[in-house]
């Protein structure tokens, strides 16, 4: 896959030095678009049902679970480092109804997704998101 223009990649080094919360900021959207796209492609459900299914995968608890599975099964040392940097960042706020630990792990996963997207590692991003989608039956 090749993406050009505003959605095109930046230099890997530039992506690596971005603040992990900035990586998580974009990673949150990319993660969400993967989940929603997979649901739309695999289902004929109406929007409300699609949204309910998406919210079961796009939340801090589910993302924390996905981060743990990925870290154990398939992440490289570099990817674990990005995930760790995101997890250790101090966002200043925590989502309601979520534990701080889950929120931090989710932020780590979002940072990794953001890093992979920004640096143009689309094939690797696809592998990781396929594993996440598989885990949650999406």
> DSSP letters of 67-133?
HHHHHHHT--HHHHHHHHHHHH---S---TTS-HHHHHHHHHHHHHHHHHHHTT-HHHHHHHHHHHH
DSSP assignment, residue 18? S
Q: Report the distance separating Cα 65 and Cα 15, nearest Å.
A: 25
Q: Which residues are catalytic?
A: 28
Classify burial at 51, counting beta carbons within 10 Å of its beta carbon; exposed 0-12, middle 13-18, buried 19 or more: middle
Closest CA to 70 of 84, 58, 54, 59: 84
């Amino acid at each position: 896959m090749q993406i050009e223009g505003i959605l095109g990649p930046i230099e890997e080094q530039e992506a690596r030095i971005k603040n992990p919360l900035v990586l998580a900021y974009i990673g949150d959207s990319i993660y969400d678009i993967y989940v929603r796209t997979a649901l739309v492609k695999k289902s004929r459900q109406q929007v409300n049902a699609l949204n309910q299914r998406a919210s079961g995968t796009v939340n801090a608890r589910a993302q924390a679970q996905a981060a743990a599975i990925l870290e154990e099964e398939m992440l490289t040392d570099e990817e674990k480092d990005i995930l760790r940097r995101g997890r250790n960042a101090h966002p200043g706020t925590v989502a309601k109804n979520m534990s701080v630990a889950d929120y931090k792990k989710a932020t780590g996963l979002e940072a990794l997704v953001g890093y992979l997207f920004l640096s143009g590692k689309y094939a690797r991003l696809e592998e990781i998101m396929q594993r996440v989608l598989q885990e949650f039956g999406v």
